[in-house]
Amino acid sequence: MRFFSLLSCLVSMITFFHKTFLVHMNGLSTIHMQYLMKRSIIILTTFLSIGLAGISYAGYLDDWPDDAICSWMEQASPPEYIVDEAIKRNLDCVPESVTKTTKNESKIIIYDVVFSQTDLDDLLSQSMGKTDYDFSQYKLAKSHNKLQCFFRIRRVVYENKDEGEIEDWNIAEGYLVIDGGKVNIDVNRSRWRMSGLSDDPSYLENEVNLRLTEDGHLVGKMAYFTHHINTGEAPRSPFYVELIKHKKSKPLNYNSSKKESAELWIDVEEWAGGVLLLSNCKTK
């Protein structure tokens, strides 16, 4: 804009001298010449005023109220002189990061990550699986007979009763073996009944990480399907639920010589949970 103002001044001056020259050339009267000069001076003064006003934006923008500057700041890409003026006035409409950007006063510090040796060893030894679980908080059963149980998982609904209602159909069922405290699902004889991704046996084979505690609970994490998927529907991934020593659970008496059963409750969602029912547990 500054450039255009100065250019206008220059053009008006050239026009003035050019016309004066033409007057001489054409031999017009002195009165006519004076008239032309006066007119040219007025034009020249006008252009000079505009030009001088444009030379300094600071003066030009001094008259602008803060609101007007801020309204410009809301535009897609406010002109640089508007941004500069807004920063100069320390207006709230200038994001702090823009101020920093413009002033280029970066005082960024790099804070190195310095783990304690224990944390570092711990972190480096862990994998990133969804069923990874820290069993150190529990006393696990290790010396026990190898057990085989029939298992069923049923949904518990909390909509009508605070204590929950166990639905009378199995969302998963099959056989599991507990050996050395570790739970293994017999994939050939077990299944989820929720269709979709739950039909893939690898969820039972690879994504169940449960252990038997000394007092007969199963703890750990496992893939858990909550929604039935109809043919053609977009599949849904399982939840990864944590099995804990639930206060409602009835643990397994795994040292008994009789066929034993257990009722192990699982917290899943606020409106519904689950229960893992073990039955016919016997030494294999």
Q: Which two tokens stand for residue 51?
A: 């030009």
Binding residue count for other proteins, defined by CB under 8 A = 43
Rank residues 25 and 124 by Cβ distance to other proteins and give the closer one.
124
- Find the distance separating the first CA and the last CA of the chain, reported in whole Å: 92
How many CB atoms within 10 Å of residue 78?
A: 20
Binding window for other proteins (CB under 8 A); candidates: 42-50, 71-79, 149-157, 173-181: 71-79
Rank residues 245 and 250 by Cβ distance to other proteins and give the closer one.
245
Q: What is the spatial distance between Cα 181 and Cα 133, in angstroms, rounded to a whole number? A: 14
DSSP 31-54: HHHHHHHHHHHHHHHHHHHHHHHH
272: helix, strand or coil: strand
77 counts as binding other proteins under rule CB under 8 A: yes
Q: What is the spatial distance between Cα 254 and Cα 141, in angstroms, rounded to a whole number? A: 9
Q: Which two tokens stand for residue 238?
A: 């399982």
Rank residues 59 and 129 by Cβ distance to other proteins and give the closer one.
129
Contact pattern for other proteins over residues 235 through 264, marking x by CB under 8 A:
xxx---------------------------
Q: Which two tokens stand for residue 142?
A: 């290790």
Rank residues 3 and 111 by Cβ distance to other proteins and give the closer one.
111
When binding is defined by CB under 8 A, the residue of 27, 136, 234, 247 that contacts other proteins is: 234
Report DSSP state, residue 199: G
Beta bridge partners of 166: 156
Least distance to other proteins, CB of residue 242, Å: 10
Q: What is the spatial distance between Cα 222 and Cα 152, in angstroms, rounded to a whole number? A: 14
Contact pattern for other proteins over residues 107 through 126, marking x by CB under 8 A:
xxxxxxxxxx--xx--xx-x
- Closest by CA to 277, choosing from 151, 168, 159, is 151
Least distance to other proteins, CB of residue 236, Å: 5
269 counts as binding other proteins under rule CB under 8 A: no
- Which residue's structure tokens are 């893992």? 276
Rank residues 102 and 206 by Cβ distance to other proteins and give the closer one.
102
Least distance to other proteins, CB of residue 28, Å: 54
Site for other proteins in 124-183 (CB under 8 A): 124, 126, 128, 130
Least distance to other proteins, CB of residue 158, Å: 17
The residue count for the chain: 284
31 counts as binding other proteins under rule CB under 8 A: no
Q: Which residues bind other proteins (CB under 8 A)?
A: 73-78, 92-93, 95-98, 100-102, 104, 106-116, 119-120, 123-124, 126, 128, 130, 197, 230-237
